[in-house]
Structure 1
């Protein structure tokens, strides 16, 4: 489910006070979406990081009521108290919380009360967490707790992110780079031990780094610390030649034959073009791409075609393929 679809689905369920669990890899904006819904609905929003809490933090602390000769529970001060209030209680990192904390949350989710505390009627509960495959420390939820939620799986969506980025004043070079390198928006892999990797969250960090206007000798180290060395080098290389790069959509639609002169720009362009092609690319776009490569230096045209053939992208049936073979066959290995 892309972020916009997830947002619409959550909005419907929040209105009906149906508990929701939003699953997704780290850094893709799960908490941001829930906060947006609260802001747009003009209701309160409380974000609880359950992995940082002890069971007593949710349940409260017992103390002795001498007047009535009994123990009572003092509810947590961070939970909403106004009976007439409306809002979203966001339980983030629920499945990374210790089992005893999950057990405390279970009562709050199931019965909308815990100890002496009762959640006001106008509040909805949304929880979120990373998947077990995302290399995080997670605890499997008990079946009764899992069964209390409607589960939604959210994935990264480049068009959704670009739309958000444009409205959020994200640096134009970052948005343009995401079009040239769609894979760069989210590079997390459970098999990769790198401390820094690209997510929508870390690209926001890159935006803040750029706007802080650091000295040139610091820029690479700062950006590398946010998204990793390979992407940092690629992004900074892109920024240095961005003004000379043609629009990829114009190339694939056959509206541009502009070829950059710098070798670095050609490398970035060829990489970006091949990454825009997949099994769903239309024959007309492939034909426009092949026709465009006829204007490139031979080694770059061959680089593009070899990459496509390695990924089993069929080219033999494309109209301009015989013309391409006639021009560049001698360079093919």
Structure 2
């Protein structure tokens, strides 16, 4: 899903603040570098620009240096500056013209933020930009391992937005900031995506056969985890639907994204807090994927803010689910709920009866 030039900024801002590596694709001259520079300034983050195409592998994997304790991998100066700042943006420009050896050296930088023997702070975000190989001098397709570490965002020129910017200026001062505690919702999004994969297991991993497509966004266990984080971040600022869709497609690809969005729209899930408030109102649908999603959402909500009352209500929900013929689905949620138990919480003997053998087998009782 392609973002218009002026509407890509909210998606970039959300991903940058969420700490998910971003790769922006677009032809030369559309403002990728200028936009990322302005974003860093607006968010008050130090920016280090590294042109990947003119670097050597040692610039990212570290230069071997002999010291008193042996050989260590000395990182470049830009890495030391980011560590001293404690936060910032590492901007890898011209990534599609970086040769394969440099791309390999970038694998740990992008995923683990490790540069030589130095680890960048967790508050340092990694952003890259690339021109499509056919539009880059000496361009290379991205290797699948490197491509799958990014959320890919695509630029589509918005003529009217450019005209407005030329006349009135390009201001990005009104960016939505992620609120404190937004990460608390990540677990719920993980549960939702897990429910979808249970319904569409073939979408968990789909490595494209075509080399050029393997260098873009495609679904993998890693990219689904990134998608959950970005969905939570987007919801925390009430992002527009097209922004959330662009972030999701940027992680798992457009095909998997469209299937998930259609599935989620068809779910019509009840509010898990309403079910916890009155478990007797629970009536699960016939569809197994809907039931799984509902129970996962309820248990995630209960364990996210666990009290003795919510603990008891959650077990009652699972017991009622078993009575309604959904014991197998409820059993998965029961393991998660049992693992969250606190020592002072009593075991609900009646509601727990259906799940005792399973929990004993798993070492949870």
TM-score normalized with structure 2 length: 0.44
Larger Rg: 1
Q: Of Structure 1 and Structure 2, which has the larger fraction of its residues in helix?
A: 2
TM-score normalized with structure 1 length: 0.48
